[in-house]
Structure 1
Amino acid sequence: MENYSFTWVQFYSEFADKLLLYQNNRQALIQILKDEYDKLNLHNHFIQKDGPLNDIGPFTVFGCFNRGLTDENRIALMKSIGLKIGVETDAPSDLKGVPILNNMRTLFYSLKSENIEESIDNLWQLFETAINFADEPSETNRVNFKNFFDIVRKQSGIRWNITMGLYWIRPYSYLNLDKTNRDYLIDTKNIFGKQIAGISDLKLPNSEEYLEIIDKCKYLFEKEDSVVKSFPELSYNAWIKKDPREGSSTIDPTPQTEVRYWLYSPGRQAKKWNEFYQNGIMGIRRGEIGDLRQYSSKTSMKNKMKEFYGEEFSYRNAAHATWQFTNEMKPGDIIYAKQGQSKVIGRGVVQSEYIFDNSRDEYKNIRKVNWTHKGEWPHPGKAVTKMLTDITPYTAYCKKLKALFFDDAEEELQNEVELTYPEYTEDDFLEDVFMDSERYHTLVALVKSKKNIILQGAPGVGKTFVSKRLACSIMGTWDPNRVMMVQFHQSYSYEDFIMGYRPTENGFELNHGPFYEFCKQAQEDDENDYFFIIDEINRGNLSKIFGELMMLIENDKRGEKLRIIYSDELFSVPPNVHIIGLMNTADRSLAMIDYALRRRFAFFNIEPAFDSEGFQTMVTSSNNSRFSKLIEQVKLLNEFIAQDESLGEGFKVGHSFFCLEGNVSNDILSSIIEYEIVPLLEEYWFDEKDKIEQWKKTLYGSIK
């Protein structure tokens, strides 16, 4: 790696030592933060709606200068606060590779938690035991550290951020496991990816697992062929590899965990099939352009292919396939191997991330695969000619391919990779959604008692965002297999939703719709909740779409059987299926939901949340005072809309138009006004130009 001096390490370590002295004097610490923020004329994000915070955790203090600010402000803050608490080391001038927090998640605890005082006390205990264990790695200190790590790990507001906090306070002792570092550690191109296992995007490790990873890394640092010799070097390398142009890594979003299905040709006319099957791998060509992970985009792949193979072709399909093979395919995905357009010759489960094996003569880009089947089966229809195709969206097609190998779903499940999914709790919901605890509990109670609920609200209040997180919070996990979403429209029918006949090459065949399949899936897993989300529920002809199921979806009719019109089958809607409909109250082209369906649903209003604690925190974290002024004008606009006789409450402007993280520029705010808010107003007041001009002037004026 390049010669780089980690000047920040000594400052951060001494800052932690001095900060520990305030463990039992936190009010003084809060006052110091207030004074230094005021002195630097920076927004103090330790202010709640009802006043300043009355307690603070140690990692949150570090978060003051390890968040989405300019480096200039970060350095000014750490220098100013450091001087106040007695840090003698000079503040660093270069913060390359130091991980930072998402501005919305800087506290390391939830303000909505009922046991916030206990949570903060636990964070201080972990902070103290982590310093002790790093400075004196005795067995006693190790046990104490593990104890508090496992306690804090389960607290609301704690995810991968706690490993970031530990890394800040003792950079040579603890490993930061943010997304950037996790990707680096599982990259088989370096020594760590080849020898470290157990790192997953899905689950924060417990203390034993975390320390095992740390010990393994320290062991690998001693290897002669290791390009890094410490955790700061590791993090810096990962940071550079992520994007040499950018200067920070942040908390990653919710991981994607859905199994995907791929149709794959093992060489032209499957010439590599026997070799791949015997060696338990799959491979693609283009090894001449090197390790595919070095390319940051499909365009860069295409440009390299043109340079190497010639300019006469576009390489669009080739780059798309190599990009998907390298970056989108995941362990657990299902592979169907084909030969030509008429034969399926095998099935397998992906077992590894992408590997570049330069020792191979050809097909150097590989993944390990557990090939579960080998033989010859007729392909249903004609297969695409491409070497690799993501067929996941084509659910009927995937079912036909599955049917070639399995007569019953239980046999198939024995061959699948068992996936675990991230926990998602009430606290996570309250952190993500601008809703208070009381309304959340009301909403959950409605879902559980009524089984069917419609979330209704004005444009931009986040109905879709709320619905998915509501489902996952009730389930307790972010499991995409137990949540399905469809969108209704004027042409949507019973045949699309439940079942109906569809044309084929040889006539017609009966196909099952998504709701039918979802109910069958839920029926086999009756101990778990399932959620079926219908966007734009009032855009469809509901009586036509639901048909005889109108009765079966009632909460007191769940489990009762009724013969459905297209099949000699008794069908029921299981009690563990919950239906969440989404409805835009500003859609005046639609008739009201008919009474037959209305009485089967509870209706819950999602209001604009401009005054909520979470939204206000986001605005004040933007470092742009004009953002706050714009929001005040939007709130006045909503009052004006609510009083307009031709509109009303259901036409207010929602807060999601303005959900912005990090530093927010005036250009961004201007773009939202011009391309999102003004077009909405033009639709509302299409024949009242004076009102549009009045509010355009007002909104633009607030950011000038």
Structure 2
Amino acid sequence: MVLDSKMQTDLLQFYEESVRKGDLQSLTSINNNLSNFRKKFNPEVLASLDGKALLEYMHGKNSRDSLAYWLEFKNDEEFETNIFGSIGGGSALKFYIYQSRKGDWVTGSPQKQKIITEDEAIRIARGQREELLECSKLMGDLPENASDAEYEELQKKLLNVKRMDPAFAYFSQVSWGHKYLSLLYPSKLDDFHNANYQRFYLRKALVMPPEGVGRFICAGKYVAMAKELGMPIIYLTTILRLKYGRPYNYWRISINDDGPGKKQWEWMRSNNSIAISWSDIGDISQTPDSRSGLDSIKKSIESQYSLSPPASTKAAQQVFYFANRINEGDLVLITSGYHILGAGNVIGNYSYVPSYELSHQLPVEWLSLNDEEAMGIEDTDLPVYQITSQGTLMTVEKYLNKPYVAPQPPLPILTGIISRIQSVLERKSQVILYGPPGTGKTYWAEKAAKELASRSAFNKSFKDLTEEEKRVIEGDKNKSGLVRMCTFHPSFGYEDFIEGYRSMVENGQMVFNVEDGIFKKLCAEAASSIHNYYLIIDEFNRGDTPRIFGELMTIMEKDKRNKPVLLPLSGNALRVPPNVFIIGTMNTADKSISLLDAALRRRFGFVELMPDYDILGNAQINGIPLGAWLDAINSSILDNVGPDARNLLIGHTYLLENGQPLKDFSKFCRVLRDDIIPLLEEYCYEDYDKLGKILGTTIIDVKQQRINDGLFDPSKWDNLVDALLVNYPDITKSPQAHDSTGEEEQLTG
């Protein structure tokens, strides 16, 4: 295939749109035009003429019916020449001779024209006719759907056709010669009669032009493209013209993307302009596009800057090209070394802005600001450079053909607990969140994993994901997500985590097969994915971790990722990809981290989560400031429970509901009675003397060694509030405390 599938689709869609809009001539009209031309100017007709009749038939100006006139100007019901590609513009001497208004025959060059006799003009017409006939025969001999090699051979043969005058170009080398042959053989030749145009539109279609020179060497590509698209060549060339417009020049602006260069690029990008410095030479908008203009700029540079003569010449060329040669419609590529920073079309004229360092400016409409490496661009040390290398030009087109992804504003920098988790994972790839009960370990593990996975997979914060994107992160009933969770417990083993035997019945017999465990499955998926995977292991210290991890201990460290270890059951190799991260949670009330297996502990980083009273803010219930009260309770635990008391504090999440402080006293009572008091009983080993010191002897009946449950009856709630505050009277003076009575008076009074 010549065209890639995406380009095929794009061109076919554009073709269908052009048909709907009426931008394409009907094939009937096109064929009628071609038929009229061939009847009048086919090789047999030209071969039958001679002398003045041949001269007038080919070049007569006054009759408006000559071959030259039809090829360049004729546009009427009989023949619409513009349908078949233009050769207009330039000098009438493109045909080698022409007839002036006075009837004289003229030849020579545009700068040095000369009048010749009619006999001399007839000799020229005969020579052209002979070349034309031979070239036409070569075209006729070329098979349909010829290969690139056959078109290359055709180009060589056309160049070997004998010329009428060695001082002038071959018939096959001029635009009107190509157009004549394309009208005779429209299924073998395109109607781009300029070699630069032919290569431009091939590049636009992402087709590398063939090597070599000449107007016929590219035709094989157009023939193959038209065949792939299932349309005549003339429709292909028409939609290419409509889709991509007129050809233009390509320029490269090279900067250093650091220091001043980075500042220059940021300014150009945000101001929709390209710009260079050399501001001290002033406005050069009136400098002529000639050698004298270049010399004038060089003198200005020499007078304003201390440069060597070669450096002055080089600088003058760059400024001259920038102001005089880069034209509206041209494409500019901004590069830093082999890195493309952006590309755009020039949309206006040069201007000089003296108030800014980058004073010489051209307005640009950016087509792409994709930042990517491109090793295919030619090397140059020139800041302003016209791109002519076919390889570089193709690299530019491929870059432009990629969808422009507008840069998203940078994501907010992670802070707080998630930032600490991220830091440890970047360093060690696995982390354990540890702390007393109720400090949000599981909450932060899930939140961090989802946020980090979202940023890695979609460059978005989790809260900004679409529902479909969230399913990729969290998974659903049909497929696991990038973030997964398991819980260790005394019955959880190696066979659940890595691999193990599972029993099943096959053909009435009990058999045992080795099946992959949770972590091995995750590693297999991650190995073939570009995304990061996160496994949350809740209650990490409740399992027999050395047994569960087994051989994984050898390869889980960051510098040993992707190294294989042989598994004894299946005999397969297990590798932990570098895009797998583990976040464990560990309740220090159950076991201190010091009791973890030492080898396992070395492989993890640790983030401690302690009660956070600030989360409770100024929340209060029935005059009890929740943050201050919990702080006082925990201080009392530290004073009374013993040396391990720090691991046995009460976490702030006990006093939260849906992430917000409790507001209902009845819920607070249930949490106190059903969660906090039983936990404290466990911490104190039912030492009611210690419990009394922590909660107060009104709630704890030390003598009877029991809890005064009667205080939790709604009718006794006022007494319960007093009982909770009796040991800690100072908390009612804290900034968090409110005068509930005063609030009630304000509400009712």
In the superposition, the TM-score normalised over structure 2's length comes to 0.34
Larger Rg computed on CA atoms:
2
Name which structure has the greater RCO, CA cutoff 8 Å, separation 6+.
1
TM-score by length of 1: 0.36
